Structure 1
Amino acid sequence: MSVAFESPRLVDAVDVARAALVAEGEQPGPHTGARAEGEYAAAHYFDAGLPGYRGWQWCVVVAGAPESSEVTVSEVALLPGGGALLAPDWVPWNERIAPGDLGPGDQLAAPADDPRLVPGQIDTEDVSPLDADEVGQVNAAIGLGRKRLLSFEGRADAAARWFDGDFGPASPMARGARHSCGSCGFYLPIAGALHAGFGVCANEFAADGRAVSVEYGCGAHSDVTAPTGAGSPAYDAFDDGAVEIVARTGASDA
């Protein structure tokens, strides 16, 4: 049997397709088109007009056997049309996270292959990216070339501000953290007299570029482990037709 014989008969079976939807309790809108699907099947499309399904359409696939004039219904489905309202594409969490998203008590694990972190035994060639000249490093470390340096009081005032501020151990973020900055791979200890107590955070999703106490902490510590499991549980499809409409009674009916 050829397409030329079977397809027109099935494409013209609009009433059969509409009846299949009505039998399912649906109220299809206008017929918007039909398309042959191979030699012995055709798909019919109807406006859905369902609340919450703007731009969706009903699709009814009908079929006909080569030796019979009977048209049967193979499948009924609700499909999105060209202008359908759809959920946005799913994006993995590690691509959605942005600086500023981390809150007190949140946990943010660095990926196992994070290029920002290396094992502790690897030589990181720890030289300044701003001035790789060794003499310049020595000069900067001892204060040569600067007319004035912080006094003991100046250092103490700065340490008190940093310790008591938003990136100290008493902050809400630190109180909700399991790990402290002193053991974090993103922690860069500062040079000089405050070396033992403070550093700079190098994690763009945390306190990036801020002076943090060695006792401060957040959920983006380099030792935080990623959650296990296969993600969200799988649920069965929701049946809109199973919703029971219950009339609300007033106080006088109680």
Structure 2
Amino acid sequence: MSPLRQSSPARSSTTGSARRTRPPAVDAACAEAVDLARAAAADTAWPTPVGEHRGVRAEGDRLVTHYFDCLDTAYRGWRWAVTVTRAARAKVVTVDECVLMPGDDALLAPPWVPWLERLRPGDLGPGDLLPTAPDDVRLAPGFTEVSDSTDSQLVWELGLGRVRVLSQEGRDETASRWYEGVAGPRALIASSAPAQCSTCGFYLQLAGELRQVFGVCANEYAPDDGRVVSADHGCGAHSEAVNLPAASEHNPPVIDELGYDLMPASGTATPDAEAEEALGHS
């Protein structure tokens, strides 16, 4: 086979590739079918009317999409997209599909977020189940958490009877969340407390490594009763808080007459002095 014949298919392939990347031309018959496209959009949008025609776009050979404004108040900025087509060498235009599509300023729903990332503290209710991922970094098998940094933890938490226990990362994350929260030392109620929870008789220490910083409040009158608090947290229900009595009127002073004699004021004579003076003149 000659080299000329071998190179011909390559040139033909290149030419065909360039032809395929060329944008399709707008078919005149399909572009003129505005009333047909509007009728299809109106039938889908009923009972809401269809808005103004916003132009056409060629999707392929003899394939054109018409755009109309959507007047539904729930779909502000959306458009009705009606695609029409016709067969080769045919004059009859038919509707291919009719859909509602968002425009540039359309009101869209926020991006979808997996349910596990949407959960917030307090969302779990009675009967709800919250599965934990097998590779959750906050947990580790109890019998494998035996590194040098966690030997002291094993004294308190061997993990017996449980498949997993808190890992070192899980404990650090928990401690940071509790300490920076409303039960930590920076809470507003702690700044005005008479003393810290570590000196309160109602303070129950936790087990394990966390007992060095955290405990549970056992005072039923305290706002944190039954909750974890830091050792340097505090509130007005401290067991050793001093309740000052309310201000009251003072009683008259008590005079101690055993320490001195009562003397009359100058220029004033008592009855006993007058009697003694009369006896002296007699």
Shorter-chain TM range is: 0.3 to 0.5
More relative contact order in 1 or in 2 (CA 8 Å, sep 6+)? 1
Higher helix share: 2
- What TM-score, normalized by structure 1, do the two folds share? 0.48
